[in-house]
């Protein structure tokens, strides 16, 4: 299962963090994210998109300045997670239109809502873009 998902820019600043069934204190999260990000940023294109950290396997993918890092347990299919990240980015792209780091910073809640549609309990429940965006777009249109 997926344990956490981080969005970190290439300066190492966290833009979004979501944990699944992995309850860590703020300090623990901070330490974990620091280590994971440091390791990830030190990797080159010539290395594979996976690495192990503590009990997690980290699968990461880079889009422009933003890294998507997903911590999974041992039984997860790394390639599938890698593609899940891409699928997620495609959905974001469809929602925001040419998604960029600033979009995510300005509307982090939308990213969370989209993620909530795709990932529940650390399981990939839905990757159908129409399904995912329907409630999100409905919410946008709801009167404030």
- The residues that touch another protein, with contacts defined as CB under 8 A, are 13-18, 21, 23, 26-27, 29-30, 33, 46-55, 75, 77-80, 82-84, 87, 102, 105-106, 108-109, 112-113, 116-117, 120-121, 123-131, 134-135, 138-140, 142-144
Joined together, the tokens standing for residue 70 give: 């997903």
What does 56-101 look like in DSSP terms, one character per residue? EEEEEEEETTEEEEEEE-TTS-HHHHHHHHHHHHHHHHHHHSS--H
Q: Containing H/E element for 16?
A: strand 14-19
- Residue 98 or 144: the one with the smaller Cβ distance to another protein is 144
Three-state DSSP class for 2? strand
- Residue 50 or 63: the one with the smaller Cβ distance to another protein is 50
- Residue 64 or 108: the one with the smaller Cβ distance to another protein is 108
CB 17 to another protein: min, Å: 5
Q: Which residues pair with 8 in a beta bridge?
A: 14, 67
CB 140 to another protein: min, Å: 8
């Amino acid at each position: 299962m997926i344990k956490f998902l981080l969005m970190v820019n290439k300066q190492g600043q966290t833009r979004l963090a979501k944990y699944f069934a992995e309850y860590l204190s703020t300090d623990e999260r901070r330490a974990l994210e620091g280590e994971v990000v440091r390791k990830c940023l030190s990797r080159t294109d010539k290395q594979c998109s996976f690495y192990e950290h503590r009990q997690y396997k980290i699968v990461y993918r880079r889009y422009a300045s933003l890294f998507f890092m997903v911590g999974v347990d041992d039984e997860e299919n790394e390639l599938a997670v890698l593609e899940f990240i891409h699928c997620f980015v495609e959905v974001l792209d469809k929602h925001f239109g040419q998604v960029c780091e600033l979009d995510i910073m300005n509307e982090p809640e939308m990213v969370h809502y989209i993620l909530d549609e795709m990932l529940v309990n650390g399981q990939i429940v839905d990757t159908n873009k129409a399904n995912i965006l329907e409630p999100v777009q409905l919410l946008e249109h709801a009167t404030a």
